[in-house]
Amino acid sequence: MARLTRITTRRGDKGRTGLADGSRVDKDSPRIQTLGDLDELNAALGLLAVESSEALGESLTAIQQRLFDLGGEIALPGAAILNSGHVADLEAQLQALNADLPPLQEFVLPGGSRAAAQAHLARAVCRRAERSLWGLSRGEKVNSESLKYLNRLSDLLFVMARHLARQASDEETTWNREP
């Protein structure tokens, strides 16, 4: 079954777009802003996935699937798809990757390798998506597990960045405080 048979509909030419329930909203509404930030995050994860190992790539693809679920929640007001099990999955991945990393003594500068830098960029985009979702939650009901999911995902992306940087080199570049 084809879901999209026409890409150009011209229905959004006047600054409004449709939600999954058939309602129309302004393209700059908090709901659509959140969807856009999630879309950008998903694209950043796709780029990171192709720069990562097969295992990390599979993990990132699974996360991309969950981000589509989250987008479905946002596109259908009142929907709740993500649950505590999804959050727990991220926490387990985070703990497994973090177990082999040394404790941080200072802030890490984004970089270290191409893949690590992409993970840091995805983390920053994730934080923006999380802020957008929190903004939406101030005026409308939002699944609390989805808020937790984005928070854990940004943590996981930070740990992935550290892991990837250490795969490329045994050192991470940290902030050097000027006296």
Q: What is the pLDDT of residues 81-122, one digit of tens each?
A: 999 999 999 999 999 999 998 888 788 878 888 999 999 999
Question: Mean of the pLDDT values across residues 10-14?
Answer: 61
Question: Cβ–Cβ contacts within 10 Å for residue 94, how many?
Answer: 18
Q: Give me the residue spans of the domains in the chain.
A: 28-92+106-168
State the CATH architecture for 28-92+106-168: Up-down Bundle (1.20)
CB 159 within 8 A of CB 98: yes
Question: Mean of the pLDDT values across residues 50-76?
Answer: 93
Question: Cβ–Cβ contacts within 10 Å for residue 137, how many?
Answer: 16
Please provide the average confidence, as pLDDT, over all residues in the chain. Answer: 88
DSSP code at position 3: S
Predicted TM-score (pTM) of the model is 0.88
